[in-house]
Structure 1
Amino acid sequence: MGDVIAVTGAGGFLGRAVVARARAEGHPVRAILRGEAPAAWAADPGIAVLRADLTHAVPPLDGAAAVIHAAARMGGDDAAQARETVAPSAMVLEQAARAGARLVLVGSIAVLGTDGIAPFARIDETTPIESHPARRDAYARAKIAQERDARALAARHGAALRIVRPGAIFGPGRLWNAHMGITLGPLTLGPRHAGELPLCWLPHAAHILLLAATAPQADPVEVIHALDDDRPDRARFLAALGRRGLPLGWRGFDAAAGVLAPLGPRLPGLLRREILRARLMPLRYDNAHAHRLGFRAEADFETAMAAARGAA
């Protein structure tokens, strides 16, 4: 029997996959969620369900070897993100640290900046965080704040912390991602280039998070990018979905965003240069740190996408 793993956001898209992976590997799980638990969990004595609204209170974490904090809001403005992502994260990690558990924060590669990065640069855990959060969206700002708070808490309590930054996670019911461009009916308008999409198949994300919770840790704080080995370009992604693209050159996208840049925050989403560059700039990615933890890919892109579509 493995050590107890506590998982917040256990009822969500990622949380359920983490619970399933932990149970498959013999770990008792403390599943913390706000809504109803999957019915199948009632038949598993290794899953202890704790229902809690983390915006108000954090359930006991004593006895957990690690806490995987996956609960977060995906959308909403800064106020919603502060209330439902940033503040609960600080409370969960504070209590986990006091309980002596390893902290595993589910972050996002959305925190990375593109200042000074050239097209086709290789992105890894040493790539700087966005230096102008105000120019990005509320989600990116919340994830940046989560990392800041987690590092401060870990330092204050002397706790081990791993920040796992998944790329765009795909699985049953969630195939699309913000790195594809703009959808116009059956067409997708996006840059034409051989850059990689920073994808992470749901089972791979769960695997890396469990490794982060259980593998020996040398440094007090570690950052791990959770990405697939087989990272397609946009054309290959669209082909796997049977969709058509309307490709344009990257330079045209970037130049248009530059012309509109003086309008700043008044612009929606992808019309803001920093957001456009973070989502559409041709880049390459590195997942060597995940492999050092013990990650081994279980499927190539087409196999993973076929499994995700078949289970949707």
Structure 2
Amino acid sequence: MGRLIAVTGASGFLGRGVVMRARAMGLPVRAVMRGAPPPAWAVDRGIEVVRADLRHDLPPLDGVAAVIHAAARMDGDDAAQARDTVAPGARLLDHAARSGARLVLVSSIAVLGTQGLSPYDTVDEATPIEPFPRARDAYARARIALERDARDIAARHGIRLRIVRPGAIFGPGRLWNAHLGASLGPLVIGPRHGGELPLCWLRHAAQILTLAAARPQRAPVEVIHALDDDRPDRARYVAALGRRGIALPWRALDLAAGPLAPLGPRLPGLLRRETLRARWMPLRYSNARARALGFRAEAGFEAAMAATREIA
């Protein structure tokens, strides 16, 4: 098995972490990016920088054993997501498959639905994808579409595919996530429950993705949820932020959204029952497949937060 790994979106928040983790594991990297690379990369002969805008360009993938496709837009409406995430992602993955490289798609647990789940159920890779994507946001719809395209491309070319779904990734400069609630100055208004937040520290997400690219794969398609071992509840996370939480009863929020369901996509995000449940329903999560891949946590939640704040 070859060792060269291509990473798209390599100048982004997650992409930079993946590049550095791959290099720490001794793997050469072809870093595909639109922006400028960190200055330190210039002295690392194991990093080859390729400047490319995936909306228009296809990077060279000769000699590449695996492609980690991390480039994606985090915001924007359906048109922006189609233009900047779905279309270029499918084009890049098809290009990678034609080159013979294995595919590692960075998706998100945002693709999952809560239909059939009850509070405090355990979410894992067998949990179905959202059956009503129109009720969710454009980001979730784009990830659902890209997973579908990736499966089709891998099957068509006979290439192995790993879909890695990180939870809410936190790291330097990115501590907030939609599972917490609404931010109002020093206050955080959100649901009251003891469910877990589906978190993944940046260093852990980078480790899991690098392992997904480097480790052998038996099944044609594997789905792996990238989540920390230590997953706090909302109150513990808000306390770690040093902020004050105002808790609202989960069941009251869920019941209030019920009568509004017929209005569907015309409602703001958190008034749509599917979106509210995906973000705030009290659930538990499994990272058993990530651990079977070889993931080993480098820190618990509080230690990871402390390390993040030191860097920031």
TM-score by length of structure 2 reads 0.98
Greater Cα offset, 267-276 or 217-226: 267-276
Matched with 2:122 is: 122
User: In structure 2, how many angstroms separate the alpha carbons of the residues matched to 1:172 and 1:289?
Assistant: 26
By how many angstroms is 1:204 displaced? 0.2
Matched with 1:267 is: 267
- Segments of 5+ residues of structure 2 without an aligned counterpart are none
* 1:230-309 equivalences in 2 (<5 Å): 230-309=230-309
User: In structure 2, how many angstroms separate the alpha carbons of the residues matched to 1:262 and 1:133?
Assistant: 15
By how many angstroms is 1:304 displaced? 0.3
Matched with 1:190 is: 190
Letter matched to residue 132 of structure 1: F
* 1:9-24 equivalences in 2 (<5 Å): 9-24=9-24
Q: Could you give the per-residue CA deviations for residues 175-218 of structure 1, whole angstroms, max 9, x where no partner exists?
A: 11010011122111111111000000000000000010011111
Q: Could you give the per-residue CA deviations for residues 58-117 of structure 1, whole angstroms, max 9, x where no partner exists?
A: 111121010000000000000000010001111111111111111000000000001111
Matched with 2:38 is: 38
By how many angstroms is 1:25 displaced? 0.8
User: In structure 2, how many angstroms separate the alpha carbons of the residues matched to 1:253 and 1:104?
Assistant: 37
Greater Cα offset, 38-47 or 151-160: 38-47
User: In structure 2, how many angstroms separate the alpha carbons of the residues matched to 1:257 and 1:63?
Assistant: 52
User: In structure 2, how many angstroms separate the alpha carbons of the residues matched to 1:134 and 1:246?
Assistant: 30
Helix, strand or coil at the partner of 1:247: strand
User: In structure 1, how many angstroms separate the alpha carbons of the residues matched to 2:219 and 2:135?
Assistant: 32
Matched with 2:161 is: 161
User: In structure 2, how many angstroms separate the alpha carbons of the residues matched to 1:132 and 1:186?
Assistant: 34
Helix, strand or coil at the partner of 1:229: coil
Helix, strand or coil at the partner of 2:89: helix
Q: Is 1:97 aligned with 2:97?
A: yes
Say how many residue pairs are matched: 312
Q: Could you give the per-residue CA deviations for residues 242-272 of structure 1, whole angstroms, max 9, x where no partner exists?
A: 1110011110110111132233222112121
Helix, strand or coil at the partner of 2:245: strand
Q: Could you give the per-residue CA deviations for residues 267-306 of structure 1, whole angstroms, max 9, x where no partner exists?
A: 1121211110000000000000001100010100000011
Matched with 2:7 is: 7
Matched with 1:152 is: 152
Letter matched to residue 155 of structure 1: A
Matched with 1:47 is: 47
Matched with 2:223 is: 223
- Segments of 5+ residues of structure 1 without an aligned counterpart are none
TM-score by length of structure 1 reads 0.98
User: In structure 2, how many angstroms separate the alpha carbons of the residues matched to 1:39 and 1:270?
Assistant: 41
By how many angstroms is 1:37 displaced? 1.0
By how many angstroms is 1:15 displaced? 0.2
Greater Cα offset, 219-228 or 39-48: 39-48
User: In structure 2, how many angstroms separate the alpha carbons of the residues matched to 1:60 and 1:38?
Assistant: 21
